[in-house]
Amino acid sequence: MSLNSAGHVVQSVKLFAGNNISDNCRKDSVFVDFVGLCGSRTFKKNGSRRRVGSGVNSNGIAQRNYFPGLVGSNKSWGSSIKSVLDLERVNIGSKEQSSDPKPKVANLEDILSERGACGVGFIANLDNKASHEIVSDALTALGCMEHRGGCGADNDSGDGSGLMTSIPWDLFNNWANEQGIGAFDQLHTGVGMMFLPKDEDLRKEAQSVILKIFNQEGLQVLGWRQVPVDESVVGHYARETMPNIQQVFVQIDKEENIDDIERELFICRKLIERLASSETWGNDLYFCSLSNQTIVYKGMLRSEVLGRFYYDLQNKLYKSPLAIYHRRYSTNTTPRWPLAQPMRFLGHNGEINTIQGNLNWMQSRETSLKSPVWRGRENELRPFGNPKASDSANLDAAAELLIRSGRTPEEALMLLVPEAYKNHPTLLIKYPEAVDFYDYYKGQMEAWDGPALLLFSDGKTVGACLDRNGLRPARYWRTSDNVVYVASEVGVVPMDESKVIMKGRLGPGMMIAVDLPTGQVFENTEVKKRVASLNPYGKWVKENLRSLKPANFLSSTVLDNETILRRQQGYGYSSEDVQMVIESMASQGKEPTFCMGDDIPLAVLSKRPHMLYDYFKQRFAQVTNPAIDPLREGLVMSLEVNLGKRRNILEVGPENASQVILSNPVLNEGELEALLKDPYLKTQVLPTFFNIRKGIKGSLEKTLNKLCEAADEAVRNGSQLLVLSDRSDELEATRPAIPILLAVGAVHQHLIQNGLRMQASIVADTAQCFSTHQFACLIGYGASAICPYLALETCRQWRLSTKTVNLMRTGKMPTVTIEQAQKNFCKAVRSGLLKILSKMGISLLSSYCGAQIFEVYGLGQEIIDIAFAGSVSKIGGLTLDELARESLSFWVKAFSEDTAKRLENFGFIQFRPGGEYHGNNPEMSKLLHKAVRQKSESAYTVYQQHLANRPVNVLRDLFELKSDRSPISVGKVEPASSIVKRFCTGGMSLGAISRETHEAIAIAMNRLGGKSNSGEGGEDPIRWSPLTDVVDGYSPTLPHLKGLQNGDTATSAIKQVASGRFGVTPTFLANADQLEIKIAQGAKPGEGGQLPGKKVSAYIARLRNSKPGVPLISPPPHHDIYSIEDLAQLIYDLHQVNPRAKVSVKLVAEAGIGTVASGVSKGNADIIQISGHDGGTGASPVSSIKHAGGPWELGLTETHQTLISNGLRERVILRVDGGFKSGFDVLMAAVMGADEYGFGSVAMIATGCVMARICHTNNCPVGVASQREELRARFPGLPGDLVNYFLYVAEEVRGVLAQLGYEKLDDIIGHTDLLKPRDVSLTKTQHLDLSYILSNVGLPKWSSSKIRSQEVHTNGPVLDDTLLADEEIANAIENETVVNKSAKIYNVDRAVCGRIAGVIAKKYGDTGFAGQLNIT
């Protein structure tokens, strides 16, 4: 490659995948496929380490030198990367499974504790010829994928690896003959591979249960075999949880057909599992496999030692025609032996994002599943899912059920993981039959949606398929000696290229299958055609599936204006909802954009009534799986939904297609009317009002029970569609509407628990739904469609109003018809729904329905159990009676005589006097301006008092600090100059804010020794040198700033890398002290940055390498990061380009963030930043600002405690931000475990922001957030103002530390024992549970200062270091000459030349290097 400048380097260097390629994997060719995890690791066996360069490897084989004529680096390879740490909690302590067959709802907390991503592949002999070579090749491939897995803190306990093969009868017959049992009858023998309790007595108990079931089923146990293993290769942590591993051989005489034999073994396993679940040792019994065809050898092992651990795998008698191999990287740091893969059918690389919904739906269909092959024993197969198992294990269980019930593996996977067939460019040409197949099943089985590469085998067929997005790599190739290989990367098996006769890669939704008995290989088209031709799906669909025809919108209002107003008041609308949300959607056809953050209290802390939806926050993808980009990847997304009964999935027939299909879930009045008249649906309307004549107490609960009974009765009487409606001709004061979300959730949960949910769909006909978040909540908790009748009426009223008519007539507003206004509203809802789905990486609304992808803040367990079972509600909250009271406070407004003649403005979005409290309010900003501009301590004290007396606004306001120590003098406390070094400012991009603000903030932070953040807009190189030309506070270099000093630097110490990569060049990266990877943003997690076109000035466009005036919307943050390994690779790349810079990863608080942070820590990050939902933004959809992300208090607590539990806390600095305003916030964050503290909006306020909240319009009156020259000229701020502010904050911290009796911040970090709940009375409830924040799992082993001062994590010795040490190359860089070099390169060498690019960029900038390095 010829490198003319550092700018070229980034384009010309591809990232090389892999590491730890064992020597028999090596070739002179480069194996390039995809980005894997960190560097090679130590070979522990002989205590020797593999070295790079000349020398001898651990096998005693002389290694090639990397560079002919170059001295090889003699450093040990990779063991210095202490990065891939992973400490398992030894005590798994999972709760006992209930043996009660009644369906239980999937619990999000169970699901969140299991996340993973992996490397997989299979090898199959097309002649169906069993050989040991297949097994040894699979083990070789596994060894070459060591980088795909995680590893324990002992660096020896893997997250899991395994092999699935055919049963090695030669090996087992040999053993049987030695035991005197005699050779097995292969047709009638089943082999069970089992993990049993370690304790001998418990093991005997378990074996007696197994024997009992086999005997009861008429199966003869022929023998038990202790599987021979080498425990010495097992890591310390894995050994502590290692089970006893045995095989059981059973004879099945009563069946002759292989499928029946497999079914009998399946029933036996299910009965054993059910019986074991009530025993204390139940969790210690696990069948890796129980089959007549396949066997699984797996464990919590590194892939390269799997073959050494199981002696069987080394035995030449172990022969198989197929092998599926798998290496696991568990983001969750408590890997368990049973969760290693392959599972019983599948090896899964990926993440199922809809798992909670999938589990609920599988449990719902337990009562309806019937098939003659089970001979009436279906009940014994339950349960069909286990929330405590991983998503992979549950998908495997669903596939197993379908296959054992008679489906082929290919059909089962087409059904569970369908391709995006609607907008497919070639599918209709190549295999149109598949469209009918997918249409037929779409309404019966919700897709298991998420990035997935699935390898599968039932012993007769082996194959692989990819999810609809194709977000996992999969290559396949076939050789002339009739062997087929599929792998998640190339180069894992030594390959003679001349033998390859076919190769390719699986694309999105594609499948490849090998039929072993016939030796045929079926590529995607053939597989799909064969499956789709099994039944006349097209005919069935045509005759039975009914499409709902679009109905016209109403062309006039139904109610008069006063009645509309009363309804809006009673159902909880505010004037902001009508004007900013509904009217804006009706006029523009898109969601309104707003700015700043969500600085009002959480709904449960607010003194004002909120609609129930406001207690729910949308979940979003970060790290373990990618968000989807709805703008650029819309092809794979669909809002289609089917209504009607979902029949027995195990049987096929025309009646299963008898459903109604909707193109999207938003119904108008005419469409709802058509559904009510559909003769097959037998629709039942259930009114949702509760009666308070006898008082509020118990009224809501009583009505909900009655509603659920009515739904139950309607479904049992044949209704296939329940319409829950709060529509009424006349509202009654004593019959308020039940919050529709509560009604939908309660009916949904009741029908699941009573086995009726598959019999009917739920539609909400409601006034209480007008924003995208509200639609998403209703769908997420079970509604298939919504008719927002009052929102549509409001659209019509707005269009017909005199004001609107006049604005349109005078051209001040685009003209839309009354029908168009309603269409626009529905279009905005649809776009908003796609955005919400995509945040979680979900493509299909049908999979989102009932998936409960939300967290709850402020509802008590009583409400959760009745309507939202399985959702996480960490802090408890309202009871049903308290919720009834809140609903009533809206309802009474519709009947009060003195109700205003117009809607009240609650002030939830915009600050207004008398409205909801906003943390950033005009009085607060005035007090702060006074303090920092006058440098007045007394004015800062007034500002502090204002904050101390504010209403409860955030969770930390519910706590105060206590101490058992005597106060000390402030003089003994660490100085303010030391404390401010822990302060950072938020990632505000140049573009979102003006150049003046951005530079003033950077200069102030550099004066203090803190850190400012560039945000995602790049940075002007003029800012990277200290100023030397300042006279009277002005500098010709930065003429637009005042208050400067010689020695000031305007560089941002933290430079951000975001998904749009705006302004990211080698020079930008090389000039950073820290590099931040923005995975999520507090104000809009799961979405990319947004810069309105009018803010893209010529200067901004130059820095971002874009065009002036063109709006810039980044893809969802790093949606190119499909898994934890990909993030680890980006961290590696950044450490490669700039080895001096610490790399931070910015996450947003949500349940499960501890698990994610553990994975990030294993990926070698130096810093993890936790942002709260209340962070600011320059521009974002309103619903994103308001309804996504959680409070940082919970996110920080979970992260800090999970990292401590897993021994990872010392590896990373924890930084937190979101709504920080004072020293009190710093102290609270410190006590909860943070080392560093981020200030965003308040830093802007200190430099002059007046919180006009019009950043997104480019009209900021003080030039803080505008690119308009005339407004920027008004910028009032000085760097000194911000310096003053941070010094005051630090002094406040010192004062409190002195009162508490502590000398330094180090002494209180993580000490939650210093917290106590404040005696504060909340308006809505006294039932908040703060115990989670108060809990403590211990302290880090190091002090915070030691954690902060540790060296930058290293990539270890890399090829680039050897190159840079070469005199000729060093000389060429120094003197800008030309040099030609040749180097040997392997998979282990990743991001090659990245470091060279960094060195050149630091010295010459992006285009200044005149020399040339030709490295081949």
State the catalytic residues.
Answer: 118
Residues 6 or more apart whose Cβ sits within 8 Å of residue 839:
618, 619, 620, 621, 627, 1085, 1086, 1087, 1116, 1188
- Residue 1196 DSSP SS3: helix
User: What DSSP letter does each residue of 709-755 carry, written as one string?
Assistant: HHHHHHHHTT--EEEEE---SS--TTSPBPPHHHHHHHHHHHHHHTT
By the 10 Å C-beta count (0-12 exposed, 13-18 middle, 19+ buried), 387 is classed as buried
Is the CB of residue 762 less than 8 Å from the CB of residue 911?
no
DSSP 352-409: -TTHHHHHHHHHHTTTT---GGGTT-GGGG-----TTS-HHHHHHHHHHHHHHTT--H
**DSSP secondary structure letters along 233-265:** GS-HHHHHT--EEEEEEEE--S--SHHHHHHHH
Residue with structure tokens 């490198």?
A: 3
SS3 306: helix
Nearest alpha carbon to residue 37 among 104, 116, 128, 138: 116
Cα–Cα distance, 671 to 1163 (Å, whole number)? 51
Angstrom distance (rounded) from CA 567 to CA 164: 62
What DSSP line would sit under 939-1001, residue for residue?
Answer: HHHHHHHHHHTSPP-SGGGGEEE--SSPP--GGGSPPHHHHGGGEEEEE--BTTB-HHHHHHH
Give which of 39, 41, 235, 35 is closest to 117, Cα–Cα. Answer: 35
Q: Which residue has the tokens 């206004």?
A: 821
> Do 671 and 786 contact (CB within 8 A), yes or no?
no
3-state helix, strand, coil in the chain (%, to 5): 40, 15, 45
Checking DSSP bridges between strand 244-251 and strand 220-226, what pairing results, if any? Answer: antiparallel
Structure tokens belonging to residue 684: 């039942």
Nearest to 1195 by CA among 1227, 1147, 1231: 1147
Rounded to 10 degrees, the C-alpha dihedral 751/752/754/757 comes to 60
> Would you say 711 and 738 are in contact if contact means Cβ atoms under 8 Å apart?
no
The 3-state DSSP class for residue 908 equals: coil
- Partners of 248 in the beta sheet? 192, 224
* CA-closest candidate to residue 1183, choices 913, 908, 987, 840: 908
Bridge pairing between strands 721-725 and 761-765: parallel
Using an 8 Å Cβ cutoff, are 722 and 711 in contact?
A: yes
Torsion, CA 448, CA 449, CA 451, CA 455, rounded to 10: 20
Tokens of 833: 């729904």
Cβ atoms of 887 and 736 within 8 Å: the answer is: yes
**What tokens does 252 get?**
């099945």
- SS3 call for 147: helix
SS3 191: strand
Give CA–CA dist 1005/1001, Å, rounded.
6
Backbone phi and psi for residue 1406, each to the nearest 5 degrees, phi listed first:
-70, -30
